Amino acid sequence: MTPTLTIRGFQVFRGFLDAAAQAAMLKDVRAIAAAAPLFSPMTPYGRPMSVRMTSAGRYGWFSDRSGYRYERLHPSGVAWPPIPASVLAVWDAVTGLDRRPECCLLNFYGEGARMGLHQDRDEADFTFPIVSISLGDDALFRIGNRTRGGRTESIWLASGDVVVFGGDARLTYHGVDRIRQGSSGLLNDGGRINLTLRVVD
């Protein structure tokens, strides 16, 4: 598959999911949140994140005062629900890998939610890419460098866009500065959902 554009090694597939595919995936995402409710992870600094999260798959991403890590159970004690077939189909199409992700992290951005610049390094093997799927309102996504600091570039991500973060880009700093509330009609009450697919083990 050919990306629409590549920026600092990130492959952006604009409009990868059409309106019908987005609506179908949203149904699957709602089922995840029904089985494993969204929560606001505590940062190691003791403040709750503004983004609400949950996961599907064998592992879910978790954070508290002792740090960032993957857990086998939702904080309520239930197992994370399985990653939906609709989501795995996107991974298969854009990566072409035999290995499948063990975590689908679901981020929900309501009014005012943002995510500071960070690296994703809680996974065992950085040779596997991370795949991101955007649903709902537009987000201003910021891309930095492989070390802290330096010039950044920003792009808007819209509902249905898919991004692959692999190779040299896997350890690039990135974050979400803001959401354009109400820019998409997909979610009745607005907001943005981002799914990230991760090989954990």
Which residues contact ligand MD3 (rule: CB under 6 A)? 105, 107, 115, 120, 130, 132, 139, 163, 165, 169-170, 172, 174, 176, 194, 196
By CB under 5 A, tell whether 138 contacts Fe ion: no
Q: How far is Cα 23 from Cα 20, in angstroms, rounded to an integer?
A: 5
| Residue 84 CA, distance from chain mean position | 15
Of 42 and 117, nearer to Fe ion (C-beta) is: 117
Cβ–Cβ under 8 Å, residues 121 and 187: no
Using Cβ positions, the residue closest to Fe ion within the complex turns out to be 120
Interacting partner of 130 out of Fe ion, ligand MD3, none (Cβ under 5 to 8 A depending on kind): ligand MD3
HSE-up of 166 (CA within 13 Å, CB side)?
A: 16
Of 27 and 69, nearer to Fe ion (C-beta) is: 69
Interacting partner of 170 out of Fe ion, ligand MD3, none (Cβ under 5 to 8 A depending on kind): ligand MD3
Q: How far is Cα 6 from Cα 12, in angstroms, rounded to an integer?
A: 6
Query: Minimal distance in Å, beta carbon 116 to ligand MD3?
Result: 10
**From the CB of residue 147, how many other CB atoms can be counted at a distance below 10 Å?**
10
CA angle 119, 121, 122 (to 5 degrees): 135
Binder of Fe ion out of 120, 123, 137, 138 (CB under 5 A): 120
Query: Minimal distance in Å, beta carbon 25 to Fe ion?
Result: 20
Of 83 and 163, nearer to ligand MD3 (C-beta) is: 163
Q: Rg (Cα) of the chain, in Å, rounded?
A: 16
Using Cβ positions, the residue closest to ligand MD3 within the complex turns out to be 194
Output DSSP code: residue 162: E
